[in-house]
Amino acid sequence: MVRDIKTFKFFEVLLIYEMLEVLKALAMMNATRKVVKISSKELAEHIGQSLQTAARKLKELEDEGLIDRTLTKDGQFVVITEKGKQLLYKEYMDYKKIFDDEGTIKIKGEVFSGVGEGRYYVSLEGYRKQFREKLGFDPYPGTLNLRIPKEEMYFRRRLDEERGILIEGFSTEDRTFGEVKAFKCRINGIEGAIVIPKRTHYPAEILEVISPVKLRDKLGLKDGDFVEVEVIL
Amino acid sequence: MVRDIKTFKFFEVLLIYEMLEVLKALAMMNATRKVVKISSKELAEHIGQSLQTAARKLKELEDEGLIDRTLTKDGQFVVITEKGKQLLYKEYMDYKKIFDDEGTIKIKGEVFSGVGEGRYYVSLEGYRKQFREKLGFDPYPGTLNLRIPKEEMYFRRRLDEERGILIEGFSTEDRTFGEVKAFKCRINGIEGAIVIPKRTHYPAEILEVISPVKLRDKLGLKDGDFVEVEVIL
C-alpha cells in the first residue's frame, strides 16, 4: 500500500516537472501576457522533443486548466491561464527564496582551545584600529578557535577564494605583521568576524572568530561543542 | 541524422530538468548556503522517488560538478557548488523575466469604423474631466474601434473580470450616463486607455481605445489593419 502511494507520487512529481518545463517554455514566449500563435511542431522543436510528445503535453496542460488553447483556420493559439501563472509563480518564489540572502553561508565548527596566539594578535593596536574602522567593533582580546570537520570544508575553502575585508599589515620597531582577511559573521545572533591571517602556513581546517564579547562565555561554549557561524561573504 | 540529433537533445533536455528538480530540492534545504546532511533515503522520500533513483541522481549531480559530496562515518553531506548555483540562478532569472512587468497584457485587434457613438460620449464633460483626473490626459474626441478575433478573446474576457479604473456615471437634465471601466494602455508606444461601458449589452468582442491624439491618423491605420494594445491591468 505504501509502495503504491509512492509510485503514484513518483509519477505525479515527474508529471508536474514535465508540465512545468513546457509551461515555462511558453511563458518565455510571453504566453502569460499575450496569446501566442504556435504549432505543435514549432513547440516540439523549441523544447527539443517529438511532435507527438509536444502535442500530448499541450493537451495535458489544457486538460489541467494551465493553458487556454484556440484552434482556428490560421493555426493554434495558446495562452497561459491564471492557474498556470500560479504554478509558475510558485516556482519563481521558490527560486527567489533560494537566492534571497545569497551572500551568506553557514559553516559548522568544533570549539577548541588555542595557545593564546590569537589574544596576542588581536590586542595589537595596528590591527585593533582597523577592526574598529572596517568591522565596526572593538574586539574582545582573544579569538574563538574552531576546527572545521571534513564535511564542512567546502565553505572553508570558499573563504580562501573570497576577497573578504582586507586588514592591512604593519610594522613595529621589532618586526612586521602580515595582512589579515576578515569576514563579518554572526554566531547565534552575536556579531563578530572571522579573521584569517594571509600567511602560507595557516592551517586550512581552522577558523578564528573575534567579537566585541567573549564568545566562549557569552554562548556557554566548551571544547568539543559545535557552533554554526553565519558568514557574510 | 537529424533524427539522431533530436533524440539526443530530447534526452539532454529531460536530463537537465530531472537534475534541476533534485538540485532545486537541495537548494530549498539551503544547500547553496551550508553543507546539508542528507541520506539518499531521505532525499528519495523528499522528492517522492525511489532510493535507487535518488542515489543515481545525486551521483549525476556530483559527476556534473553541480554538487560536492562528502561521505563520512556520520553520513552523507551535500553542498551545491558555484556551477550548481549558476544553473539554478539561470532558472531564477528566467522566472524573474516571466514575472517582471507582470501587470501588462497584450491584445491584438482589427481596426474598424464605428458609427461615431464613441466621439459623442468621449466629448461629454462629465466623462472628460474624469479622464483628465484619472487617466492623466485629455482625450481626442473619438475612439479607435477594435474587433478582437476569437483566438485573442482570453484577455478580452480578463478585462471583464478586472476592476480597472472606475469612471463614474453622471446625470444631465435629460438623461443619465452609466459607469465606464478604463485601463491605461499603449499602442505602438502611444499612451491611451481602453474604455468599456458597464452596460449589459456592450458587445464582448469590441474594444474602444481613447488617446490624447487621433490614433488612426497618428499610426496610419485603416479598417482591417491589426494593432497590438499593451494593457496595464
Do A10 and A82 lie in one domain? The reply is yes
Whether B82 has a pLDDT exceeding 70, the answer reads: yes
Do B149 and B77 lie in one domain? The reply is no
Do B139 and B91 lie in one domain? The reply is no
Do B81 and B141 lie in one domain? The reply is no
The per-residue pLDDT for range B94-138, each reduced to its tens digit, is: 999 999 877 889 999 999 998 878 889 999 999 999 999 999 999
Domain closes at, from B30, B65, B99: B99
Chain A: nearest CA to B19, how far in angstroms? 11
Higher-confidence residue of B9 and B57: namely B57
Q: Residue B73 has what pLDDT?
A: 93
Do A112 and A206 lie in one domain? The reply is yes
Q: Which residue of B has its CA nearest to A68?
A: B154
Which CATH number fits the domain that encloses residue B135?
2.40.30.30
Do B114 and B221 lie in one domain? The reply is yes
ipTM of the complex: 0.77
Q: Residue B115 has what pLDDT?
A: 80
Q: Residue A15 has what pLDDT?
A: 64
Higher-confidence residue of A4 and A30: namely A30
Q: Residue A231 has what pLDDT?
A: 96
B130 CB within 8 Å of a chain A CB: no
Instruction: Tally the domains of chain B.
Output: 2
Whether A70 has a pLDDT exceeding 90, the answer reads: yes
Q: Give the closest residue to A88 by CA, choosing from A60, A70, A67, A57.
A: A67
Instruction: Note whether B48 contacts A12, CB cutoff 8 Å.
Output: yes
Whether B1 has a pLDDT exceeding 50, the answer reads: no
Q: Residue A123 has what pLDDT?
A: 93
The per-residue pLDDT for range B149-204, each reduced to its tens digit, is: 999 999 999 999 899 999 999 998 889 999 999 999 999 999 999 999 987 778 88
User: What is d(CA B42, CA B51) in angstroms, rounded to the nearest whole number?
Assistant: 9
Whether B51 has a pLDDT exceeding 50, the answer reads: yes
Which CATH number fits the domain that encloses residue B49?
1.10.10.10
User: What is d(CA B230, CA B193) in angstroms, rounded to the nearest whole number?
Assistant: 10
Domain closes at, from B71, B99, B127: B99
Do residues A39 and A75 make contact, with C-beta atoms less than 8 angstroms apart? yes
Q: Residue B14 has what pLDDT?
A: 53
User: What is d(CA B45, CA B70) in angstroms, rounded to the nearest whole number?
Assistant: 20
Q: What is the mean pLDDT of residues A215-228?
A: 96
Mean pLDDT of chain B: 90
- Per-residue CA distances from B76 to B40, B70, B210 (Å): 8, 6, 65
B100 CB within 8 Å of a chain A CB: no
Do B23 and B88 lie in one domain? The reply is yes
Do B220 and B111 lie in one domain? The reply is yes
Whether A159 has a pLDDT exceeding 50, the answer reads: yes
Higher-confidence residue of B201 and A46: namely A46
The per-residue pLDDT for range A164-204, each reduced to its tens digit, is: 999 999 998 889 999 999 999 999 999 999 999 987 778 88
Do A130 and A148 lie in one domain? The reply is yes
**Chain A residues whose beta carbon lies within 8 Å of the beta carbon of residue B91:** 91, 95
Q: Residue B100 has what pLDDT?
A: 85
Q: Residue A192 has what pLDDT?
A: 96
Q: Which residue of B has its CA nearest to A72?
A: B151
Domain around B209: 104-232
Domain closes at, from A78, A99, A120: A99
